[in-house]
Amino acid sequence: MNFGSGSHSPPLLRHPVPTHPAYIPEPPLTPDSPTPGYQRFSSRSPAFPEPQHVPAYSQFQPQMPPMTHGAFPQPQPHHPGVNFAAWGVNDATAQLGMQIGNSAVAAGQDYVQKNFGGFLHGAGLKHRFNVSNLYVMRKLKLVVFPWTHRPWSRRVRRSEQGQAEWHPPRDDVNSPDLYIPLMAIVTYILVSAFHSGLHDRFEAKVLGESASGAFLVVLLDFGFVYLGCYFLNVQSTSQALDIIAYSGYKFVGVICTLLAGFVLGRTLWTITFLYFFLANAFFLLRSLRSVVLPDPSISPNAGTTTLSPASRRRRISFLFLEAVCQILYMGMLVRV
């Protein structure tokens, strides 16, 4: 078959040549992607050769790094240093400030130890709680009936270091203790609550009010005697604890007065109150003598300076004033 001269042969077919873009954008980071970047892998990467046949599973022994005792290594804490330059302070000024601060703290600790060391010392508290049943009975008898007691001076012994010190309360009935005052305060709070309950006035706040009143009276009495000893230049290493102990013995008479009010009339109650006031005043007048007027011959804490007659009269007058003030303190406590 003949075609005309104007006919053309069909064009040759050619396969398209694949082209690749010059830049592939990085995919967005996700929480699951450990490292940034986009990694492309071909079907045959030289870094990942074809797996070879393993003869047996038991022959495969992975190499683990040696580990010490403990399952996981503990991270080491990081303590950055203080950068004083960020605060506008150079190193020399910072060191000077730290030295001044340390000196101030040491001076404060020295002052507290010097002025309140006897008050906060654990050995002093242990000494005043060293009591026995016989001592408690004899001490209560002495507080209630102090008229015929002899002698009133405290006993002294030698410690293992050869220093003179007071006998503990269990060995000396004239030695002040903190066991009876503490138990007397707790008993006073309970008796006050019982008294309010008998008069249909008991509420939960009665316990708190009674405790606050009791501690307020002890604080007032302690402050009065302590300041008096300070102005009279009375020095003693165990002065504070002794004053607190003597301030708490008045609660024995207050408890007896409150219990007498349950069964006695007004007149007999007043007589009972006056008796225990006089007994407590006489007891303090004789007992506080070892604190205000210590005997240098037997007291381990007394100084060697001889008192002048005027100074001795002032201290005796202070003792009488403290004894008279007991009627005010006990009058505050019996009003429940």
Structure tokens at 181: 């005052």
Token digits for 4? 């005309």
pLDDT at 37 over 60: no
Maximum average pLDDT range among 45-54, 68-77, 200-209: 200-209
Across the range 175-192, mean pLDDT stands at 95
Dist CA 207 CA 209 (whole Å) = 6
Question: In this structure, are residues 247 and 218 in contact, taking their beta carbons and an 8 Å threshold?
Answer: yes
- DSSP alpha helix (H) spans, the chain: 91-120, 122-128, 133-144, 179-198, 204-231, 239-248, 250-263, 266-287, 289-292, 309-324, 326-333
In this structure, the number of other CB atoms found within 10 A of the CB of residue 70 comes to: 7
**Burial class, 52, CB count within 10 angstroms (exposed 0-12 / middle 13-18 / buried 19+):** exposed
Task: Check: CB of residue 250 under 8 Å from CB of residue 222.
Answer: no
**How confident is the prediction for the chain on average, in pLDDT?**
77
- Where do we find the tokens 């002794």? 242
**pLDDT at residue number 160:** 73
pLDDT for 105-131, tens place per residue? 777 766 656 655 555 566 778 888 999
The tokens for 157 are 């012994």
| Lowest mean pLDDT, pick from 20-34, 160-174, 262-276 | 20-34
| pLDDT for res 278 | 96
- Condensed to tens digits (0 to 9), the pLDDT of residues 242-256 reads 999 999 999 999 999
pLDDT tens string 276-303: 999 999 999 999 988 888 776 666 655 5
> How far is Cα 168 from Cα 123, in angstroms, rounded to an integer?
11
CA-to-CA distance for 70 and 92, rounded, in angstroms?
44
pLDDT in tens, 124-152: 788 889 999 999 999 999 999 999 999 89
